[in-house]
Amino acid sequence: MSLVIPKGYHNVLGSLENTEKAIKAVKDMFQDNLSAQLALLRVTAPMTVLSGIGLNDDLSGVETPVSFPIKDLGGVQAEIVHSLAKWKRIKLAQMQIPAGRGIYTDMNALRPEEELDNIHSIYVDQWDWEKVIAPEQRTLDFLKKTVRRIYEAIKVTENKLYVEFPQIEPMLPEDIFFIHSEQLLQMYPDLSPKDRENAVTKEHKAVFVFGIGGALSDGKPHDDRAADYDDWTTLNEDGYYGLNGDLLLWNPVLESAFEVSSMGVRVDAQALRRQLFLKGEQYKTDLMYHKMLLEGKLPYTIGGGIGQSRLCMFLLRKAHIGEIQSSIWPEDMREKCHNAGIDLV
């Protein structure tokens, strides 16, 4: 557990009631802006999926999901979702959504292996979205265009929020800065990946770091990614590998880079085989989801997740994600936060 107590922190909204009103305002406004920018239809999402069919997401590839037996199915195991990257792709196929349109969900997940701090909780809530694309749109240029649309939705939400809560002044820059993780390594070779993110985001305020998952020139990835959803091995137009990335904003309250979204062009059959090989996970080709993809039964897509509590935390200038969502926190963390004027719900 690590905890940052910002010096002189106070609730700019003045009360817990105003905070709750502002949370609702952010969520209502942003999902409308997002769906308009990306042509998305809201759908109902599951909280659980069956184990052993490859449908749950492995995130960085090491997390263990919460699982339990289902009595009426003879004790068959199910598990709480980590996210819905693969489920959404199957849903798009079932709904026969055409290219250019997509879906989004209110996704709720449990990640009990998270290290609890200002921005990490065992409970995850996000807008999980997925959009059908044409094969020729599996490019870095299309990824950047999509990122710009999401960033525009965030900026519009920030500006609308200012109308209702004038104490929260807009601060996002007009444009977002793009950089590949290898370029970032070359720029700051002596820094850790997180410190590189802090350095570049402090300078540009809004950054999209792309190409995350594959080994860089130092032999290590910028961050880990599972093999079977984002494409992090395809050579892009800039001569680097990867069609995925993270959207980072400079958080002046915590004085650090702040990830609000992870997203990317999803693997096609070729990229899936390549990435499963690199991870030593070729056995997954026998799982339901992976078979469907390799047999051409799933559409080409781009997708990602945008943290609901994370975005609210950023836009409402909060110091701890527990000011936005109700979760479980260590008692000493609660006490330290309370003494610093940080009210965890």
Task: Give the whole-angstrom CA distance, residue 250 versus residue 200.
Answer: 9
Residue range of the domain that includes 230: 16-339
* Residue 9: inside a domain: no
* Residue 88: inside a domain: yes
Residues in the chain: 345
* Residue 258: inside a domain: yes
pLDDT (tens digit per residue) in 332-341: 999 999 999 9
**DSSP per residue over 260-284, as a string?**
EEEEEEBP-HHHHHHHHHHHT-GGG
- pLDDT for position 185: 98
- Look at phi and psi of residue 52 and say left if phi exceeds 0, alpha if psi is from -120 to 50, else beta: left
Catalytically active residues, by annotation: 57, 111, 126, 246, 259, 262
- Residue 21 binned pLDDT confidence (cut-offs 50, 70, 90): very high
Q: Number of folded domains in the chain?
A: 1
* Residue 313: inside a domain: yes
What global pTM score does this model have? 0.94
**DSSP per residue over 194-260, as a string?**
HHHHHHHHHHHSEEEEE--SSB-TTSSBSS---SSSB--SSB-TTSSB-SEEEEEEEETTTTEEEEE
* Residue 96: inside a domain: yes
* Residue 1: inside a domain: no
* Residue 219: inside a domain: yes
pLDDT (tens digit per residue) in 279-322: 999 999 999 999 999 999 999 999 999 999 999 999 999 999 99
* Residue 93: inside a domain: yes
Q: What is the CATH number of the domain that holds 118?
A: 3.30.930.10
